[in-house]
Amino acid sequence: MTISDIFILEQSGVPYLARCYGGDSCRANPEHGLLSGFFAALNSFSTELDQNRLISVEFDSLKLLFSQADNKLVVVGLEDKTKEQEAEQIINQILDKMHENPYAEIFEKRPFELLENNEFVQWLDSVVEKEAMGDLSSKLLNKRKSIWQKIKEKLI
């Protein structure tokens, strides 16, 4: 799977949402809510140090993409680093959705209601699953093509 985790939080570290999508990093660190304070501190430190916003942090098997809008921070854990462009598209979809009603009001006034808002969570899950299924279907199509190519080669 390309995306392992998605976090939405205040720049101060107050978590709105932490979702795990089953990657290796997700299984290794099940306490996702605790990471929001760390992400906020890392983002704040980079801003103080460099006067620029934090874009990403890269580890051996995980890349964290950071994106900011207003006083919100979206962090996406990405295990397949070749899929960064697709992950950035999902981040943009999340940022757009955060400004739509009724979510804009929830993000502005009642952050803890988002944790209970199944509609937003279902939407987010469907976006991530669609991206994952697209990746899976393209792999299946490529395998199918390679099988047909092998059959064709045997017939020729």
Give residue 32's pLDDT.
Answer: 67
Token readout for 72 is 């919100």
The dihedral sign for the CA sequence 97, 99, 103, 106: positive
Give residue 34's pLDDT.
Answer: 76
pTM: 0.77
Residue range 71-79: average pLDDT?
90
Average pLDDT in the chain: 77
Beta-bridge mates of residue 57:
64
- The predicted-structure confidence for 5-17, as pLDDT tens digits, reads as follows 899 998 888 888 8
Measured between its terminal Cα atoms, the distance across the chain in Å is 37
Q: Which domains does the chain have, with CATH numbers?
A: 3-155 (3.30.450.70)
pLDDT exceeds cutoff 80 at 75? yes
- The predicted-structure confidence for 83-125, as pLDDT tens digits, reads as follows 889 899 999 999 999 888 878 877 776 666 555 557 888 889 8
Q: Are 32 and 20 in contact (CB under 8 A)?
A: yes
Rounded to the nearest angstrom, the gap between the alpha carbon of residue 115 and the centroid of all alpha carbons in its chain is: 16
**Pick from 28, 111, 30, 40: nearest CA to 75:** 40
